[in-house]
Structure 1
Amino acid sequence: MFERFTEAARNVVKGAVTHAERADAGSVTEEHLLLALLDLEGTPSAAAFAALGITDRRASVESALAQARRRGGLTRADADALAGIGIDVTEIVSKVEAAHGEGALAGDRTSKRWWSGHRSFSRPAKDTLEQSLRVALGRGDRHIGDEHLLLALAARPGVVADVLADHGATYGALERAMSAAGGDAQAS
């Protein structure tokens, strides 16, 4: 599958590993893939981010991802569902952090590395890479580009898709923005 990746898509994967290393994360996650996509310039995903105004709101995206991490990865829908039965996630996070320190629910921070020394990809991140192939095939493309990785992130339910949607980057909005920018024809 990776032989189909464009240079930009390969840069996203490499950038995601770099983001995971900087955060001392145990594995590379979908969040790291999104952050690496935000680093790109001159690609279909960068054009979509610019068209939707997300490039100028990167700090807001990063803040939303950090808040989700503090909630232990619960999506907004999860928190709303719990609130519906009287469970205040914000209060629980505050109590856990008071007892165990800030970011206690953020997950494992120890490095899990393959024998080669590389960080492994989480199951959801691997699923996103596989989804990008399905997105590319569904669009009739013979390559997997950064645009397919972005659309795969937006298509998969979870925190990253929620954060993208909260910033106006739903699957449909991203597709329209890339089409308007001529992203279908680019194979960066």
Structure 2
Amino acid sequence: MFERFTARSREVVRRAREEAGRESVGTRHLLLALLADPDALATRVLADGGVHADDLRARIARYVDRSAVLGEADAAALRQIGIDLAAIEARIDESFGPGALRRPVPPPRRGWWRRQAAGPFTPRAKKVLELALREALHLRHRHIGTEHILLGLLSEGDGVAAQVLHEAGVDLRDLRRRVEVAVRAVA
């Protein structure tokens, strides 16, 4: 599948793997990697919509810190029923000291089988890349560019990337429309 990726979108995937470090690549890593290239069409559309890379990085860091205590799904479920996990963590930090809930960083794993066990991409990130291909095919493009990866992130809609964009006040449908307009203007 990567043979259809442009050099710029391959660089996004490479950067996402770098962002992830020892973790599997998730949607947040793909979004951060997209934001790293200011000349990419996807990044320009985000910037034109008032989305700033530094703000999203900070939001992702806060989101990851919140979900480190519980799983991502648990944190999302608590938000849906009105429980402010950040306020609870702040009170725990007041009582027990900063970072009391953070898990210790595990030592590096050795052996190729452990590095390969989790796979390089989370299921959501794989879905985003599959959706990027579908978006390119839908637009009758023979390549997969950064704009298609962004459209894939928006189509997937449930990952950390989409949630963080939504929390930043981005209307995902409007962003999708603006990406499609930009793609047509370039073509």
**TM-score, shorter chain, exceeding 0.5:** yes
* Cα distance in 2 between the residues matched to 1:164 and 1:113: 36
Aligned: 1:15 with 2:12 = no
**C-alpha separation between the residues in 2 aligned to 1:177 and 1:123?**
27
1:175 aligned residue: 176
Partner of 2:160: 159
Change in 2 beyond 3 A, CA 1:113/1:172 = farther
Q: Which of residues 55, 59, 77 in structure 2 aligns to 1:60?
A: 55
TM-score (norm 2): 0.75
Answer yes or no: is the 8 Å Cα contact 1:43–1:146 preserved in 2: yes
Query: Distance in 2 between the 1:132 and 1:77 partners?
Result: 25
Q: Unmatched 5+ residue regions in structure 2?
A: none
- State the distance in 1 between where 2:28 and 2:145 align: 18
Deviation at 1:111, TM superposition (A): 5.6
Matched residue pairs, number?
177
Deviation at 1:62, TM superposition (A): 1.3
How far apart in 1 are the matches of 2:38 and 2:112?
33
Report Cα offsets for 1:75-119 as digits up to 9, x if no partner: 985343232xxx4423443466648936626x9766679839787
1:121 and 2:121 aligned: yes
Shift of 1:19: 1.4
Say whether the 8 Å CA contact 1:76–1:159 is kept in structure 2: no
RMSD: 3.4
Find the aligned partners of 2:20 and 2:146 in 1 and give their Cα distance: 18
Higher-helix-fraction structure = 2
- 1:144-170 per-residue CA deviation (whole Å, 9 max, x = no partner) reads 111111111122213210211233444
Asked whether 1:38 is paired with 2:39, we answer no
Which residue does 1:104 correspond to in 2?
Answer: 102
Q: Is the 8 A contact 2:24 2:122 kept in 1?
A: yes
Matched, 1:90 2:86: yes
Q: Residues 75 and 85 of structure 2 are in contact (CA less than 8 Å); yes or no, is this contact kept in structure 1?
A: no
Q: What SS is found at the alignment partner of 1:71?
A: helix
- Relative to structure 1, the CA distance from residue 184 to residue 43 in structure 2 (aligned partners, 3 Å threshold; closer, same or farther) is farther
Matched, 1:49 2:46: yes
2:66 aligned partner, one-letter code:
R
TM-superposed CA distance for 1:2, in Å, is 0.9
Percent pairwise identity: 34
Query: Which position in structure 2 is the counterpart of 1:81?
Result: 80
Aligned to 1:131: 131
Q: Is the contact made by 1:112 and 1:120 (CA closer than 8 Å) also made in structure 2?
A: no
Q: Distance in 1 between matches of 2:151 and 2:43?
A: 12
Counterpart amino acid of 1:58? Answer: A
TM-score (norm 1): 0.75
